[in-house]
């Protein structure tokens, strides 16, 4: 006989289930038979007793009993929600372990591989029949959401007859949705419309998106200001090159931008460069009716398009190109047939008349790093060439002779900017303008680069001695970009020793206007943001104690980093930042600990860094040695 609480017990002969009295009676066993039973499943609310038990059947003896005890157990409910509106998130994966590192593998008798569980349609994971300390860690969230490192791992004590809840929140990534509709019928969506998404701050290209069959395009964007500009659309609609500005907020809320296109009927001319396929700006056309009477004059836009609408009469029209400076003139009259309500596309190519731009690159002064004198021809300078419409048409690089040569370019006005300097030289900020006015013309420039000087500095000071449990305050000074060029990815960082705990950060001020953010790391984990959009001209005092940051007893801040992004030449700290800490209890008198501060930035992808250390000794009364001698 086996006694248990509604359990399923496995034996060598099969699987048996307890009756209403909690018993299993097995008859017909031969004397001398050894029976081993193991409980393999129990009822909800009880802990499985998985220890096998063995008994031997004896002839003439009373039927032996095996007793299995089941303790009442608790339940754990994990809830996953959006931080934006509290809605449940299904399909988020967690791993559950006990305090000893073993996996929470039994969910009322059902095995979960390596403690992995996934939230259901209600955004929940419900586990019954467990007791003890359970550690839940979020492993994978849904597309469009981010895991919060501060709450990614949570610990809970589950007791018998107890139900515990853990709630995890995910923040939606800023989701941008663009919808393209017809101006005359906003319910009509327009597919195959291409947009460039650019930063509002500097016009930098973020990405290119195209509307799908439903007229929608979606894109994941960080918080910030942007604009969308249309670059291509179906010929049945008029291209809208107006920038459409929008803002992505840092609270995770999505942004939807609806852009309208006006339906177009008439003649659409696309004027392109035969050698590049790109549109030609500023080409003028005359339109004639079927009697060869001029009825309109039109000029191509930045993309080489000409829209001729308002043609109420179907039939035959004629087009003639008036002028196209820099290209072989196409004087042939083109015949176009127009049907009212439809768009007639005319693809019109021109062969360019070309010239060339050449740049000679030289050293402006003696370079103490490589020993090159002033006037030395320099290899490796990179230039970008833009046409008068602002389009990048060529990128060139100086060779061993210091010469950078463009490809043949159509006659026009061009702007040239240096984007990368030779090694050990700074980029020239001189902007050049070239006019190519006749076939075969070569416009030559000489551009010099000054020797590059890069360097950063930081100085860390603090108490020479400290007592356990007492304040340990550090002061930062001399934080600067000593280079004669701008540094990117500029930061300064303080690495805290294990012997102190962070309390307060005084930010200090800096001599160039701008904003920055402060991040920190806990126990060497991922960086978390403490404060953002801080003004360089204001001196802030920020609370950063374990209580203020919501840290657990076994957690501590190991690093604090000030992130500036770009630091111009001469960038420097004005008011001194301070890192205020407290020495932990129980430090050994006479021992010491080291605080490290570093600063750095990149120029042309190469890091420039400096470091400063400060050693503090733990104060304590010296031990007096016994007196010896006579």
3-state SS of 371-424 is CCCCCCECCCCEEEEEECCCCEEEEEECCCCCEEECCCEECCEEEEEEEECCCC
The CATH architecture to which 456-618 belongs is Sandwich (2.60)
Determine the pLDDT at residue 110: 45
In angstroms, the CA 407 to CA 261 distance is: 37
| DSSP element (H, E) containing 239 | none
CATH class of 354-449: mainly beta
Among 40-49, 342-351, 490-499, 560-569, the minimum mean pLDDT is found in 40-49
Tell which CATH architecture fits domain 175-261: Sandwich (2.60)
- Give me the half-sphere count of Cα atoms (radius 13 Å) on the Cβ side of residue 382: 6
Give whole-number Cα distances, 179 to 182, 210, 226, 228, 255, in Å: 10, 10, 16, 11, 11
Mean pLDDT (whole number) for 116-138: 89
pLDDT digits (tens, 9 = 90+) for 283-299: 899 999 889 899 889 99
Taking Cα atoms as reference points, which of 595, 599, 589 lies closest to residue 623? 589
The average pLDDT across 55-59 equals 82
pLDDT tens per residue across span 298-308: 998 888 888 88
CATH architecture of 266-342: Sandwich (2.60)
Is there a common fold for 74-171 and 456-618? yes
pTM: 0.43
pLDDT band at 7 (very low <50, low <70, confident <90, very high): low
The residue extents of the domains of the chain are: 2-67, 74-171, 175-261, 266-342, 354-449, 456-618
- Mean confidence (pLDDT) of the chain: 86
Q: Which range (272-281, 584-593, 596-605) has the least confidence?
A: 272-281
H runs (alpha helix) in 492-630: 546-549
User: Domain 74-171 classified CATH 2.60.40.10?
Assistant: yes
User: With 60 as the cut, is the pLDDT of residue 353 above it?
Assistant: yes
Separation between Cα atoms, residue 90 and residue 87, nearest integer Å: 10
**pLDDT, position 507:** 97
Q: At a CB cut-off of 8 Å and minimum separation 6, what does 27 contact?
A: none
CA dihedral 333, 339, 345, 347 (to 10 degrees): -20
Contacts of 535 (CB under 8 A, 6+ apart): 513, 514, 515
Query: Tens digits of per-residue pLDDT, 315-335?
Result: 899 999 987 777 887 888 899
The pLDDT tens digits of the residues spanning 245-274 come to: 998 887 656 788 899 888 776 888 898 888
Q: Residue 10: its pLDDT value, please? A: 56
CB 436 within 8 A of CB 326: yes
Q: How confident is the model at residue 108 (pLDDT cuts 50, 70, 90)?
A: very low
Contacts of 289 (CB under 8 A, 6+ apart): 295, 313, 317, 318
Strand-pairing partners, residue 177, are 218, 256
pLDDT at 376: 95
| Res 109: pLDDT | 37
Whether the per-residue pLDDT at 630 is higher than 50: the answer is no
Please state the rounded mean pLDDT for residues 213-241.
Answer: 84
Task: Write the Ramachandran bin of 331: left for phi over 0, alpha for psi from -120 to 50, otherwise beta.
Answer: alpha
């Amino acid at each position: 006989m086996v006694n248990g609480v509604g359990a399923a017990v496995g034996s060598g002969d099969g699987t048996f289930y307890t009756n209403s009295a909690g018993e299993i009676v097995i008859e017909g066993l031969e004397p001398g038979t050894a029976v081993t039973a193991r409980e393999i499943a129990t009822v909800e609310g009880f802990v499985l007793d998985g220890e096998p038990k063995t008994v031997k059947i004896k002839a003439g003896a009373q039927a032996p009993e095996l007793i299995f005890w089941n303790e009442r157990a608790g339940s754990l409910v994990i809830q996953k929600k959006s931080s934006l509106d509290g809605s449940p998130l299904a399909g988020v994966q967690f791993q559950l372990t006990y305090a000893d590192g073993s996996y929470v593998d039994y969910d009322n008798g059902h095995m979960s591989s390596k403690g992995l569980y996934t939230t259901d349609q209600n955004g929940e994971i419900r586990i019954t029949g467990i007791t003890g300390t359970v550690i839940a860690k979020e492993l994978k969230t849904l597309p469009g959401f981010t895991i919060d490192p501060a709450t990614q791992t949570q610990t809970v004590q589950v007791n018998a007859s107890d139900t515990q809840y853990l709630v995890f929140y995910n923040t939606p990534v800023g989701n941008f949705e663009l919808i393209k509709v017809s101006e005359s019928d906003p319910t009509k969506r327009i597919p195959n419309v291409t947009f460039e998404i650019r930063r509002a701050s500097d016009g930098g290209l973020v990405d290119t998106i195209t509307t799908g069959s439903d007229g929608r395009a979606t894109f994941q964007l960080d918080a910030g200001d942007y604009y969308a500009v249309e670059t291509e659309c179906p010929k049945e609609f008029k291209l809208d090159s107006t920038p459409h500005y929008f803002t992505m907020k840092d609270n995770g809320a999505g942004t939807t931008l609806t852009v309208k296109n006006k339906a177009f009927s008439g003649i659409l001319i696309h004027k392109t460069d035969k050698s590049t396929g790109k549109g030609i700006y500023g080409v003028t056309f005359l339109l004639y009716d079927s009697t060869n009477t001029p009825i309109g004059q039109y000029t191509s836009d930045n993309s080489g398009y000409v829209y001729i609408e308002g043609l109420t009469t179907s039939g035959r029209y004629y087009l003639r190109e008036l002028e196209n400076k820099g290209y072989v003139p196409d004087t042939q009259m083109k015949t176009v047939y127009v049907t009212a309500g439809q768009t007639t596309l005319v693809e019109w190519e021109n062969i360019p008349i070309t010239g060339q731009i050449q740049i000679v690159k030289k050293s402006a002064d003696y370079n103490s790093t490589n020993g090159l004198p002033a006037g030395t021809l320099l290899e490796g300078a990179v230039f970008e060439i833009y046409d008068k419409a602002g389009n990048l048409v060529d990128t060139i690089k100086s060779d061993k002779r210091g010469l950078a040569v463009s490809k043949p370019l159509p006659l026009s006005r061009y702007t040239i900017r240096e984007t990368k300097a030779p090694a050990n030289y700074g980029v020239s900020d001189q902007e050049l303008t070239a006019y190519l006015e006749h076939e075969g013309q070569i416009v030559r420039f000489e551009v010099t680069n000054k020797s590059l000087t890069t360097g950063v500095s930081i100085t860390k000071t603090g108490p020479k001695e400290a007592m356990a449990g007492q304040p340990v305050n550090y002061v930062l000074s001399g934080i600067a970009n000593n280079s004669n060029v701008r540094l990117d990815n500029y930061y300064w960082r303080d690495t805290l020793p294990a012997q102190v705990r962070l309390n307060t950060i005084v930010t200090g001020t800096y001599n160039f206007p701008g904003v920055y953010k402060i991040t920190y790391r806990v126990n060497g984990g991922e960086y978390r943001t403490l404060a953002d959009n801080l003004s360089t001209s204001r001196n802030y005092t920020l609370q950063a104690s374990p209580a203020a940051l919501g840290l657990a007893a076994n957690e501590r801040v190991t690093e604090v980093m000030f992130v500036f992004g770009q630091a111009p030449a001469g960038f420097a700290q004005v008011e001194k930042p301070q890192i205020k800490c407290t020495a932990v209890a129980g430090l050994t008198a006479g021992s010491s600990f080291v605080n490290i501060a570093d600063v750095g930035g990149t120029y042309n992808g190469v890091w420039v860094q400096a470091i400063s250390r400060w050693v503090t000794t733990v104060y304590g009364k010296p031990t007096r040695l016994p007196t010896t001698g006579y």
